[in-house]
Each structure stands twice: as C-alpha cells, then as structure tokens.
Amino acid sequence: MHNLRNLLFAALGGVLMGLTPDPFSQWWLAWIALIPLWMLAQKLKVKAAIVMGFVWGCCYHGMALFWITSVHPMEWMGVPWWTSFGIATLVWVLITAWGAVLSGLWAGGMSLLTQQLNVTSRIVIACAIFSGLEIVWSWGPLYWTALGYTQSPHDLLLLQISRISGQQTMTSAIVVINGLLAEILLHKTWRERRGFTIAIIAFIAAMVSYGTWEMNRDRMTSSNGQPIKAGIIQGNFPNALTVKPKGWEIAVNNYTKGYEKLAQSGAEMIVTPETAISFLYPNYDPRREPFDRIVEKYRVPVWLGGFGTTRNPNAEDPNNYTNSLFLIDGTDRILGQYDKVRLVPIGEYIPFKPILGSLIKRLSPLRGEVDAGSSEQLVDTPWGRFIVGICYESAYPATFRFQTAAGGRLILSASNNAHFAPYMSAQHHAQDVARAIESDRWAVRATNTGYSGFVDPNGRTVWLSDVNTYETHLETVYLRDTKTLYVLWGDWLTPLLCLVSIGIYTRHRFYS
C-alpha cells in the first residue's frame, strides 16, 4: 500500500507536467509538478527512486507526446490499418519510455547524491543533473519535451532568461522553484520554511525583473535592422494526396496561386513549407512548370520546399535524396540551399539499419532514404546569412545557436505537420518561439496545414494562421545582428553547474 501511494504521488506530478504544453496549456503547473518526485527522491533508496522517476516521466512524456499516435492511419501510404495502429502505438511507447529514462536517472541521482546534503547544495546538484541529462538527451535522435519548452509560448516574461544560457536556463529555473517548494514541505520549522519562502520570492522577482527589462528594451528595438517584406504560403495540402497525380496538380496550383498573390502585393521574399512541391530540384519536371513560370515572371525570390539530389558522396543507395529548402528567383541559379540535418527515424531514415533494416523496409513507404545535411552548413542569401530549420529541427536549440553565432540574421522554419493532430502544430510553434527568444531574432514559420506565423525577438506572435486552412500572409520582419549571451557563449550554465556540483560532492564525501 505504501509503494502504491508513492507511485500515485509520482504519477500525479507527471500528469501535472503533462498538462503544461498544448492542448492543455497549463504552463504554470511546471513550477509545482516536480515537487512529488523531489520529495520521494529524498526518502527512497536509489532503485525505488529510479522507478518513481520513470513513472513520473511516463505520465509527462506520454501526455505531451500523445500527438505522435495521430500519424495513424497510414493506409494512404499502403500500410494496413492494424499495422499502422501497431506502428503508431509502438513509436509512442518507445519515445515515452526514452524520455522517462531521463527523469528516472534524475530521481536516482538525487537519491544517491543529495540526501545528506544541505538544501543549497541539493538544489545546485539537482539543476546540474537535470540540465546535464537534457543536453545528453539532445545529442540523440529523439528530443522534444525538455522542461524549458513547457513555458512556451505562454510565459514570455520568464522565457526571456533563456537568452542567458539557452533552454537549460529555464529548465534549471523550474528545478530551483520546485526544489524550494518541496523543501518547504519537507522541513517542519517556521524558521527554515521562512528562509525558503524568501528565496523563492527573490528568485522569481529576479526573473520577472530581467524579463521585464528585456521585453521593454526590445519593444523599442525589435524593428532595428534591415526590413524585408516576407510572405508565407500555407498550402493546406493533405499528405494523402502526395501519392496521387491529381494531388501533385493541386499542390502546384496552390503554391503558384499563392506566389503570384504575394508577389503582386510587394513581397521581397516568399517562404513555402517543407516539401511544398515534392519533386526533385533543380531537375526539370513538367508537373512543376506552372510554378516555375510564375517565378520567372515576377522574379521574387522564394524558398521552395522540395527534395534534392544527395550531396553525400558516401550514400549507399542511389535513390537517396535530401529534404531541402531552395532559394530560387526564376533564373538558372540557386541563391541558397539548406538540407535538413535532424531526420525523423523511420519516416526519413532507418535507425539501427543492420538490425532493423529488413523489417522496416517492409513497413516503410520509403524507396530510398533521406540523407542528412551537414551539421555545419551555413545558408547565405542576397540579404546576408539566414538561420534555417526544417520541421523537427525546431526542438534543437544548438542547431539554431550555431547558425546565429555564425552571423544568421533571420530564422526561417519550414515544416509539414499535416499528418499530426493540431496541438502538435501548436507545440511546434512553441519550439520556434523559444528559438526566437534565445537568438534574439525574428522568425518566419511556414507550415503546410498550420500553424504558420511571424514571431518577434521577444517571442510575441505577430501573426498566426488558422489550422487546416489555405492562407497567404505578408509581414515586414527585420534582419538583426545582435548577440545574446547564449549566442556568444552557448550553454555555459550547465558545465558550470556540473563543475560546482562535483566540488560540492567531493567536499562532502571526503572532508565532512
């Protein structure tokens, strides 16, 4: 019975954290949702704490990532209904479990390392472990539900602290407040509780003051920089039509019509979504000819989402291709190109190919695989260097930070979320809002079915499309050359926390 109560207590915390992102958007719960796991980790042995952390993580990541199941049904790709259901369910379970390992290790580490320490030391180590684990997690192919993302796009005031050291700044702040609140519940004397309460008030006041300063300062300077009239075409093209000749005709027509409208409205640059016209480029294709002709007529540069011939000389399969954005203006040259780096497992490449290759080949519609672009590629344009991400890459702050530090002046994010539930698109928008704040850059988001939008450097959404609608929109954005502390130094906070934590634990272990 005691173990059951602990499990339910841990699950409660995970459910509260699962309510923070869309579709529930109860972002404020993140500041209390870690309390149960913190309290359990201070009284349980390591193995039991790991179990509690895993339960907490299953609830959080399972709720936040439930949208992955909306990829079912995949009958339009030739996958039978029950097979599709099984694949969607299995992928959801595996991704949830992968995230739950993170919180399990954190709780185990807290139990092992911090039970005998004072509260200040405990909090420093807690932040170091959680931030460190998130960084390691981000090196892999499955990364979305970091603690910091729970605050976007609703808590813009506090999100400004991510300019200091990126997403891990917000993750650490969430851990600090949860830890102090948990310690209030764990300690019984009023004197101790009063000290923790004062610390919470001071910490929140510091974050609010910094956020207010940044937002007021940037409210006056967000239009600083070179203006450019950017247009977005949201094609609203169902993925089921991509395998039908009639569907290709509809896609070309939608983007041709949208391009002409924006060009006539004075657009200086137009952005289309990921794989907007899904033919190989720059190969000539008669099916794409209406779009090519309209670009030749107006000569307004357009970022065309499509596929490119692999530039990887080591590609094993001659059918391999790249998922790319091409900047074209109706001439024979490509003004800029970005090849997607972070690929979706199974959807774009086969993970663990020596083991799973033959099985996945039978289930996947891919004839070849998508080759990843270089992680160090930089995109130069007639307006200077841009920061570009395609779809899933929005979850990876380091990708955007690298391009910004190298001189990127504007964020372009192109995605195709047509096969997922609308609240996945809302979460995707939240990721790009966070990237805009960290980088102090305007962001232009072009998606197939929504949400497309324009975001200013403080994360304010200037315009947002509806979902599952065909739309075009023109907005003036600004190219900027500022550098936040995060852009200059990267995530310096996590290594610092880890070094201080090692010193704290060494001193406790050998000198106390």
Percent of the chain with pLDDT over 70: 91
Rounded mean pLDDT, 164-188: 96
Query: In the prediction, which pLDDT does 313 show?
Result: 58
Rounded mean pLDDT, 217-243: 80
- Of 268-282, 332-346, 431-445, the one with minimum mean pLDDT is 332-346
The pLDDT tens digits for 391-407 are: 989 999 999 999 999 99
340 carries an active-site annotation = yes
274 carries an active-site annotation = yes
Interacting residues of 157 by C-beta distance below 8 A, sequence separation 6+: 208, 211, 212, 215
pTM above 0.85, yes or no: yes
- Of 198-207, 274-283, 406-415, 422-431, the one with minimum mean pLDDT is 274-283
Rounded mean pLDDT, 260-265: 97
Q: How confident is residue 73, by pLDDT bands cut at 50, 70 and 90?
A: confident
- Of 119-123, 236-240, 432-436, 448-452, the one with minimum mean pLDDT is 236-240
Query: Phi and psi dihedrals of 141, rounded to 5?
Result: -85, -5
Q: How confident is residue 444, by pLDDT bands cut at 50, 70 and 90?
A: very high
475 carries an active-site annotation = no
| 173: three-class secondary structure by DSSP | helix
**Nearest Cα residue to 337 out of 291, 288, 301, 313:** 301
Percent of the chain with pLDDT over 90: 71
Judge contact between 193 and 182, C-beta under 8 A.
no
Is 290's pLDDT higher than 80?
A: yes
Residue tagged active-site, from 58, 59, 183, 340: 340
| Distance between CA atoms of residues 24 and 508, nearest Å | 43
Is 318's pLDDT higher than 60?
A: no
Q: What type of residue sits at position 116?
A: Q
Q: Quickly count: other Cβ atoms within 10 Å of residue 380's Cβ.
A: 14
Is 259's pLDDT higher than 90?
A: yes
Interacting residues of 362 by C-beta distance below 8 A, sequence separation 6+: none
The pLDDT tens digits for 373-393 are: 888 999 999 999 999 999 989
Is 155's pLDDT higher than 90?
A: yes
The pLDDT tens digits for 34-48 are: 999 999 999 999 999
Query: In the prediction, which pLDDT does 362 show?
Result: 46
Q: How confident is residue 365, by pLDDT bands cut at 50, 70 and 90?
A: very low
Residue tagged active-site, from 58, 127, 391, 498: 391
Query: Phi and psi dihedrals of 281, rounded to 5?
Result: -125, 140
| Distance between CA atoms of residues 97 and 193, nearest Å | 36
Average pLDDT, rounded, for the chain: 90
**Nearest Cα residue to 434 out of 459, 413, 454:** 459
Residue tagged active-site, from 134, 183, 214, 274: 274
Q: Quickly count: other Cβ atoms within 10 Å of residue 245's Cβ.
A: 8
- Tell me whether the omega of the peptide bond preceding residue 451 falls within 30 degrees of 0, making it cis: yes
Query: In the prediction, which pLDDT does 345 show?
Result: 73
Cα angle 350, 288, 370; round to 5: 10
